[in-house]
Amino acid sequence: MLLNNLFDDPARADRLISIAQSSFLPLVKGALTYTLSLTLISFFFGLILAILIALARISRVQPLDWIARLYVSVIRGTPLLVQLFVIFYGLPSIGVTIDPFPSAVIGFSLNVGGYASEIVRAAILSIPKGQWEAASSIGMSYRQALQRIILPQAARVSIPPLSNSFISLIKDTSLAAAILVSEMFRKAQEIAAATYEPLLVYIEAALIYWVICLVLSFIQDRLESRLDRYVAK
Amino acid sequence: MITINDLHKSFNQLHVLKGISLTVEKGKVVVIIGPSGSGKTTLLRCLNVLETPNQGKIQIGNVVLDFSQNPAKADIARLRRQTGMVFQNYNLFPHMTALENVMEGPITVKKMDKAAARDKAVHLLTKVGLADKINEYPFQLSGGQQQRVGIARALAMDPQVMLFDEPTSALDPEWVGEVLKVMKQVAQEGMTMVIVTHEMAFAREVADKVIFMDQGVILEQGKPEELFTHPREERTRQFLKLLR
């Protein structure tokens, strides 16, 4: 359709090119200011939460394990969009009103925390018991063993699945459009509405998401080979 | 240096240690032998509380743990600080170089400053014959070299007692000699050592006392020449015969 129109109507082709050009900067700006910052901040807090939940899951203190299981179950068992709506549209009715951006950060962090905790837990459990024992045998406390011996090794194991979560998160941030965060997808919706060229604008947005994810995959490869330096090839 | 009094350990229904009592004097080398399942490794692991005994007392240096009450974490930590452990599978930290493996305890646990810890680690790695391997990662080292790093790592904490859990059992035969040589050297410097091993020639040469364990008890103990040449118990005789 688009192509046919272009050949039939040079004026429309010019118009499309000019819309593509004029929308590019606002979209990239939306990506840089909101999409990326939302992703980075949420992933940072989400990861801290994930480590805490993973530790609770492997803890010998039973109630901690139960609470962590319940949390993971709720996060995984409910749609992210619903979680965001509860925080942004729901909480004000009990007097808790949070701005769009912080609402989104809270929602995404809680979500990442739930999913990534299983990755972190599996990674910690994949480290041989002998590593814990060796750490204890030179006098380390649980915390020292975790920080110095176990987590650094678990980090290597969890890079590929965590990168997956990270890339999913970038794309999931488009859901923040629904709670009024002016990230890239919301910008795209606004431009599409104003120009009546949704196909063009949404494809443009899709391409920008894709490029961001390509760059991140590249960084993941670099990180993996760096962390693999101590593993026999 | 070490006094063990009526030590019991069960794993669920399985009674693995049935009342072990033993003393090891300072500077002596004790070798524990026995068939698999006799409890020798469990006994060694109880000595630094990698396994928690159900009952009995362990004294190492001036730290006493009574397992009929639950010992405090701090006391367990104090006991561990007196012991160095060498594992069958080395258990080196794979994400650290040989040098970093040896420096880790002094820096993280003893809060030694980095330069001093480094000097100490270099000294110890030189002593175990690995001066030229300090910057290698464990995967770049042979089994024998890894085990020698393991010994250096344990020595770096200045333990009063060194525990060796079948330190040569996972090694290819060609690497066994170099590890035993280092252990002998440590013994000659006056370290108190408890060794679980199947290296009878080594036991004969280095041990002050050999202990034969069977089915969770110490069946027989004595000087190596006595125990190896004139074992009193029939089970000991059978076991030694199997090894020949």
Q: Which amino acid is at A223?
A: L
Q: Which amino acid is at B85?
A: M
Look-up of token digits 């089970």: B235
Q: Is B204 exposed, middle or buried (0-12, 13-18, 19+ CB in 10 A)?
A: middle
State residue A230's pLDDT score: 78
> Of A207, A154, A172, which Cα lies nearest the Cα of A42?
A172
* CATH classification for the domain delimited by A2-228, as one of 3.90.380.10, 3.40.605.10, 3.30.70.100, 1.10.3720.10: 1.10.3720.10
| Interface mutation vs chain A, best among B109, B160, B166, most A CBs within 10 Å | B109
Task: Round to whole Å and give the CA distance between B1 and B59.
Answer: 8
**Which among A131, A141, A230 has the least Cβ separation from residue B137?**
A230
Average pLDDT, chain B: 93
Contacts for B136 with CB less than 8 Å, ≥ 6 apart: B97, B98
pLDDT score of A119 more than 90: yes
The domain spans of chain A are: 2-228
For the record, the structure tokens of A11 come out as 């004026």
Note the pLDDT tens digit of each residue in B13-50: 899 999 999 999 999 999 999 998 899 999 999 999 99
Single pTM value for the model: 0.85
Cβ–Cβ under 8 Å, residues A116 and A50? yes
pLDDT score of A8 more than 80: no
Which residue has better confidence, B139 or A226? B139
Beta-carbon separation of A137 and B50 below 8 A: yes
pLDDT score of A233 more than 60: no
Q: Is B189 exposed, middle or buried (0-12, 13-18, 19+ CB in 10 A)?
A: exposed
The conformational region for residue B20 under phi > 0 = left, psi -120 to 50 = alpha, else beta, is beta
Look-up of token digits 């002596």: B28
Cβ–Cβ under 8 Å, residues B67 and B51? no
Beta-carbon separation of B109 and A133 below 8 A: no
Q: B5: helix, coil or strand?
A: strand
Beta strands across the sheet bearing B55-60: B14-24, B2-11, B55-60, B63-66
Question: Which residues of B are less than 8 Å from A152 in CB distance?
Answer: 95
Cβ–Cβ under 8 Å, residues A217 and A159? no
Beta-carbon separation of B109 and A139 below 8 A: yes
Note the pLDDT tens digit of each residue in B134-191: 999 999 999 999 999 999 999 999 999 999 999 999 999 889 999 999 999 999 999 9
Question: Which residues of A are less than 8 Å from B89 in CB distance?
Answer: 130
Contacts for A197 with CB less than 8 Å, ≥ 6 apart: A16, A19
Residues β-bridged to residue B7: B20
Look-up of token digits 């693995």: B16
Note the pLDDT tens digit of each residue in B100-112: 999 999 999 999 9
Q: Is B91 exposed, middle or buried (0-12, 13-18, 19+ CB in 10 A)?
A: buried
φ, ψ of residue B38 in degrees (nearest 5): -80, -15
> Of B186, B212, B190, B192, which Cα lies nearest the Cα of B200?
B212
Task: Round to whole Å and give the CA distance between A113 and A75.
Answer: 9
Beta strands B217-222 and B209-214, pairing class: antiparallel
Please give, rounded to a whole number of angstroms, the shortest distance from the CA of B206 to a CA of chain A: 24
Task: Round to whole Å and give the CA distance between B34 and A82.
Answer: 64
